[in-house]
Amino acid sequence: MQLRLGDTVPNFTQATTQGEIDFFEWAGNSWVILFSHPKDFTPVCTTELGEVAKLKPEFDKRNVKPIALSVDDVDSHNGWVGDILETQGSALNYPIIADPDKKVSDLYDMIHPNANAMVTVRSVFIIDPNKKLRLTLTYPPSTGRNFDEILRVIDSLQLTDNYSVATPANWTDGGDCVVVPSISTEEAKVKFPKGITELKPYLRMTPQPDK
């Protein structure tokens, strides 16, 4: 199954390091970041799991629940959790899905045969509270994921869901935003009282509306 942006993601019930979960029930009304790993005890992924544990307060602030996945079983995951604490100084504070039957991997198209038909690729899925897929990223094995960028994307998605703006290149929270093309400049002047800078008729900037 190939998932595309805007699709409703598939639900599943699966064992995790925090017990069996029904994914939709576990997610509740939160955003979710689901990120996959090819197998346990891999070096780059060990650093990533530790980093997400450290960033958990940042995800909490944004109403985002992190959850990881690897194709090994829960006993293996629990051994890996100990290594993460030892090497990264971070106790794991979110679940890792066990996927030895590759049920979730297949549902979310995490097996790319040309990369390796036996293991999941290192994907990231950002899922909104309506269970819609909002972002996918797939990384090569050699490159650790940039979780600051993932937080930046979440900030952009949450902002643009609530205001008639888009975010420009390299935007970070607090930066100027793009007025969406569907709003006329006259409408924008009313909607965004902080002001409009018209660089081109199609390119209008405004200070971030919620700051």
Give the residue numbers marked as catalytic. Answer: 45
How many Cβ atoms sit within 10 Å of the Cβ of residue 189? 16
- Exposed / middle / buried, residue 101 (Cβ in 10 Å: 0-12, 13-18, 19+): exposed
- 3-state DSSP assignment of residue 143: coil
Quote the CA–CA distance of 121 and 143 in Å, as a whole number.
12
- 3-state DSSP assignment of residue 193: coil
What lies within 8 Å, CB to CB, of 121 at 6+ separation is 36, 38, 110, 111, 112, 115, 138, 139
Angle, helices 43-54 vs 147-162, to 10°: value is 50
Query: Contact at 8 Å (CB) between 28 and 131?
Result: no
Radius of gyration of the chain (CA): 19
